[in-house]
Amino acid sequence: MFLRSLTLSGFKSFADTATLTFEPGVTVVVGPNGSGKSNVVDAIAWVLGAQGPRALRGQRMDDVVFAGTDRRTALGRAQVTLIIDNESQTLPTQTAEVAITRTLFRSGESEYALNGTPCRLLDLQELLNDAGVGRQQHIIVAQGQIEQVLAARPEERRALIEEAAGVLKFRRRKERAERRLESTEANVTRLVDLQRELRRQLRPLERQATAARRHQEISAELVEVQLYNAGRELAAHQEAQSTSDARRVTFAARQEAAAASISDIDGAIDDAQSQLAQLSAEPADRLPRAVSLSERARGLIGQTYERMRSVERERNALLDSDVVVTLTDEHARVSAELAEIDAAPAQAVPSKEQPDEASLETGDDAAVNAAEEARAGAEARLAAAAATLSHADEHQRGAAEELQHWIGRFEALASAVAAARTDSGIAALDGVAGVVGVLDDLVTVDGGWEAAVEAAADGAMSAVVVRDDSAAAAALAVLADGDTRGSVISLDKLPAARESSHQAADGEFVRPHLQVAADAPEWCRNELETLLDAIVGAAICVPGDWSSAYDRAQADRDAVFVTANGDRFGPRRWRIGSTGPAAATAALDHARGRIDELTHDHRQAAAAWASAQQAHGAALDAFQQAQRTAETLRRRIATAAARQSAQVQAAHDRAAAQQQRRSALAERLGAISQRLAGHESSHAAAVARLDRAEVIVSGLDRLALLLSQHRQRLDAEARHLRSRHEARTELIRQLTERLDALRHERDAAASRQEQSRTELAALDVAEAERRTKRDALISALRADFDADPAMALAASPPRLPDGVTASAHERALRADLNRLGPVNPLALSEYEEASERFEFVATQLADVRNSRRELHKVIRAIDAEIIATFADAFEDVARNFAQLFSTLFPGGTGRLSLTDPEELLTCGVELDVRPAGKRIGRLSLLSGGERSLVALAYLFAVFRSRPSPFYVLDEVEAALDDVNLQRFLDLVAEFRRESQLIIVSHQRRTMESADVLYGVSMPPGGSSVVVSERPSQAAALIAAGGSPGPDEPMAEQPPSEYGREPATAPR
C-alpha cells in the first residue's frame, strides 16, 4: 500500500488544479520560501481528516480556500483528492485503488467521498485505522512538530505510541462503552423514580375503583357521543388536507420551473466566464514588446546616423588641418626667397652706360654676394622643407601600416562576433514568442572587465534568454529544425543565488562589474539580476597574469578564479586566454575606434605629404631659376674677365664655389625626388586603405537602411497588435455586459424560487398545525376511547333527544357526571394499567441493571487490551529508541521511561537522553540540532516499532549540519525499503537521495505551480540551485543548467 497521487484544486496557494504522482521510495518536494510546498503536506493531512484550522496553520477553516491575489480572484471551494494504491488489500476494500476526496466550500459546508461515494468522517477514520493511519496522524510530521515532540507533556508523547500501536480504536470502543454506561445509569435512575411514582399512584386508584363502576353507564353514553363528534372533526381535517395538497403541487411545479431556469442561466454564465477567462489569459505583453523593439530600432538608427556625422566632421576637420596651413606658408616663404635670388643677378649686372672697370667689379661682387646669400637662405629653407617632407612621409607610412593592422584585426573580430552570434542562434530565433535576446546584449560590463566576465560566465554570455520553459522548448525546436547551434536560458524558476563562501582576499568579485542593461525589458530585470548572480556570483578576478590565478586555484580547489586577460581556473578545468564573444565584441569596439583615429591621422599625413610635395616642386623651380641666374652671372663674369683678368679670376673662383654648392643642392634635390617617388606609391596604398574605410562607412548607410525597414515592420506589428487589443477589449466589455444581464435574470429566477419556497413553507406550517391537532385528536381517541380514526369516521349518530345536537347532548352528559361528584370514571382501567406499567418498569429495571454489569465487564476487558497493547508497543519503541539514539549520537545513551508504571492506562512517556560527554538535566538545554535529532530518534523509533505504509516529513532536517544530516539520510535509506516517504526539504543532499523530485514555485501574483523531475534530471536541477560543491564543479556546468530544457540543440 502506498500513496499513488495527490490532486489539489483551490487549496490554499494552489488556485489551479495540480497533481503530484507518487511512487514507492522517497519523494522530495523543494521550492523557495513562500512558494507553497508545505501546503502539499497540509493537503495530505486535511484530506485524511485533520480537524481544526490550527492543524493546517490557519485561523479559520475557510483559510484553506484560495483567497485570491492581485491578479487572480478568490475561489469558492477547496478540494483535495488522495489516491491510495491498495493492490495489497491492506485497506478492507475490494478495489485496487482507494480515492479519498474532501471538499470545503467557503460557506462552511464540508463533504467527504470515498471512491466517489459520499461518506462520513467516522467511516474514513475507521478505514484508515486498520492501515496504521490514525486520527492523530502521527505519520505526518509538519513544520514545528519536531519541537513539539520535546516540548509536549509526557501524556501527549504517549498518544504517538498509542496511535501507532492501534490503541486508539480500543479507546474509542471504551469511550462508546462508557457513554452507553452513562446512559444506562441515567435509565436506572429514571426507572427507579418512575417505579416510585407508580407505587404512589396505585394506592388512591384502588380506592376510586368502586366509584368508577357507578360512573360507567353515563360514561359509556358520553364516549359514544364524543366518538361521533371526533369523527366529524377528523372529516374536516381530511378535507382541508386535500385542498393543501393541491396547492402544494402547484407551488412545487413553480419551484421546479424556477430551478430549471436558474440551471440554464448558470450554464450560460459559466460559458461567458470561460470565454472571458480565455480572453484574459491571452498574453498582454506582445504590444509593449513590439513598441519597445521599435523604439530600440529607432535608437540604433540614431546611433548609426550620429556615427556617420562623426566621420563627416573628421573629414572636414582634415581639410582645415594645421599641417596644410604650415606647409602652405613655408611654400610661400621659399617662393619669395627664390624670387629674391632671381632678382639678385639682375641687380648685379652693370649698366651699359657705365663701362668702367671699377663699376663692373663693384657690381659683380655685390651680385655674387647677393646670390650667395639668397642661395644660402634657399638652401636652409629647402633643407627644412625636405625634413618636413621626410617627417610627413614617415608619419604617413607608420599610420598606413598601423591602419592596415587594425583593419585586419577589425575584420577578424567582426567575423568572430558574427560567428558567435550565429552560434548563439539569435538569428534563427527571430520571431519566436518569448525570446528576450542574447544575454550579452542584455547586460553592460565595466570597461576592461569584458574578458574577466566572459571567463567567469564560461560561455553563458552567448546564450539566448527566453521568458519561460514553453518559450525555451519552442526556441530549441526552431534550432533543431534549422540545424543551428545555440544555447537557451529560461528565466522561469531560477534558483535562488547563494552567497559565496570564499574570500576575495587580494582579488575582486566579478559580479559588481556586470549590470543589467538600461534598455533591457522592465518586466525581466529582477530575473536577469538573479540569473547574473547564479552565473558569476562566485567568481573572483585575480590581479596579474595567469600564474597568480593558478596559485590561488592551487590553494583553493573549490573556487573559480579569473584574470583580466580571460584566463579561467575552476575546480576541474583550467583555460588560458579569452575565447568568448563578449571579449571579441569589446576588442571589436576598440579596433573600430582605433581605425577611426588612424584614418584621421592618415588623412592628415596624406594632406601633409601633398603640401610637402607642392613645396618640393616650388623649391625645385626656385633651384632651377637659381641655376639660370648663376649662368647669367657666369657669362657676365666671363665678359668682365676679358677686360679685367684679375676680377675674372676672382669671379671665377666665387662661381666655382657657387657651382659646388649648386651641385650639392642638386644631389639633395635628387634624393628628395627619389623619396617623393617612393612616397607616391605609399600614398596610393594608403588611399586604397582609405577606400576600404569608406566601404565600412557605406556599410553603416546600409545598416541604417535595414534598421529603418525593421523599425517599419515593428511599427506595423505594433499597430496590428493595438488593433487586436482594442477588439479584445470590446469583446470583454460585451461579455461583461452579458454576464451582468444573466446575473439579473438569475436573481429574478431565484426570487421566484424563494417565493415558491416561502409559500411551501407556509403550507408546511399550516399542515403541521393541522397534523398536530389531528394527532392530538387521534391520540385522545386512542387514549380515551381506545378507538382509531376509522372507527370515529364510521361512528353512527347517537340517539339524541328531540331538538338537541350531539354537542349539546355531550355537554348535558358531562353535567350529569359532574353532579355525580368527584369520581374517577376510569379508575378501574387506570388501576389495571398502572399495575401493568409497574410490573413492566420492574422488569425493565432488572434488565438495565444487568446491562450495566455487562458494560463494566466490557470496559475492564478493553482496559486490559489497552494495557497489553501499549506495554508491547512501549517496549518495542523503547528498545528502538535506544538503538536509534546511539546511532544518531555515537557514544551517547537514550532511553524511554513511564511516569507511573503502575498506571499503564494513563501514564506518560519521559525522554532521558545523554549525548556523549554531556550531562543534560533538561531537554531545553540541548542545541537546536541536538533537539531535532532527539525528536527524530523518538519519531523513527515509533515508525520502526509499528510501521506505516507511508510517512510525510516537512523540513524536519532543517537544523542539522552535514554530519547529522548524513545520519538522518541513512535512516531514510533504511525506511525507504519498507515504507513510502514524502519529504519537504531545502537540503541539497536530501534532494539527491530522492527517487522523484517535485519543485513548487509561485510566479508573482499567481498560484503555486508543480514541476516534476526524474532522478536523471534532478542532478541538473540541484546543480543549478547555487554554488557548486566539491563533487560538482561549476566550471563544467553548461549555461543550460539555469533553465529547464537542454541548453544546446544538436547540430
| Average pLDDT score over residue span 783-788 | 78
pLDDT, position 232: 80
pLDDT, position 920: 74
Q: Where are the domains of the chain?
A: 1-139+950-1013, 211-276+748-819
Q: Which residue has the higher pLDDT, 356 or 204?
A: 204
pLDDT tens for 123-169 read 888 888 766 665 556 788 877 778 888 888 988 888 888 887 778 77
| Average pLDDT score over residue span 998-1021 | 77
pTM of the complete model beyond 0.95: no
Q: Which residue has the higher pLDDT, 1016 or 262?
A: 262
Does position 192 have pLDDT exceeding 60, yes or no? yes
Does position 313 have pLDDT exceeding 70, yes or no? no
Q: 991 near 1018, Cβ under 8 Å?
A: yes
Does position 1017 have pLDDT exceeding 70, yes or no? no
Class at the top of the CATH hierarchy for domain 1-139+950-1013: alpha beta
- Between the CA of residue 588 and those of 20, 54, 439, 585, what are the distances in Å? 52, 64, 18, 5
Sign of the dihedral through C-alpha 956, 959, 960, 961:
positive
Q: Which residue has the cell 374536516?
A: 236
pLDDT, position 749: 85
In the chain, count of helices (H) and strands (E)? 22, 24
SS (H, E, C) 189-258: HHHHHHHHHHHHHHHHHHHHHHHHHHCHHHHHHHHHHHHHHHHHHHHHHHHHHHHHHHHHHHHHHHHHHH
pLDDT tens for 500-520 read 666 666 788 888 888 888 888
Percent of the chain past pLDDT 90, that is, above it, reads: 6
pLDDT tens for 399-412 read 666 666 666 655 56
Q: What is the side-by-side order of every strand in the sheet holding 996-1001?
A: 140-141, 950-954, 980-984, 26-30, 996-1001, 1009-1013
Confidence of residue 1032 (pLDDT cuts 50, 70, 90): very low
* C-alpha to C-alpha distance for 704 and 303, rounded to whole angstroms: 9
Confidence of residue 324 (pLDDT cuts 50, 70, 90): very low
Query: Within 10 Å of residue 512's Cβ, how many Cβ atoms?
Result: 9
pLDDT, position 285: 57
Q: 1001 near 1011, Cβ under 8 Å?
A: yes
Q: 336 near 374, Cβ under 8 Å?
A: no
Percent of the chain past pLDDT 70, that is, above it, reads: 69
- Residue 59 backbone dihedrals phi, psi, to 5 degrees: -100, -35
Top mean-pLDDT range of 233-242, 353-362, 586-595: 233-242
pLDDT tens for 942-965 read 888 888 888 899 888 888 888 888
Q: Which residue has the higher pLDDT, 189 or 921?
A: 189
- Residue 805 backbone dihedrals phi, psi, to 5 degrees: -85, 170
pLDDT tens for 894-941 read 888 898 888 888 899 988 888 887 777 677 778 888 888 888 888 888
Q: Which residue has the higher pLDDT, 870 or 310?
A: 870
Does position 689 have pLDDT exceeding 60, yes or no? no
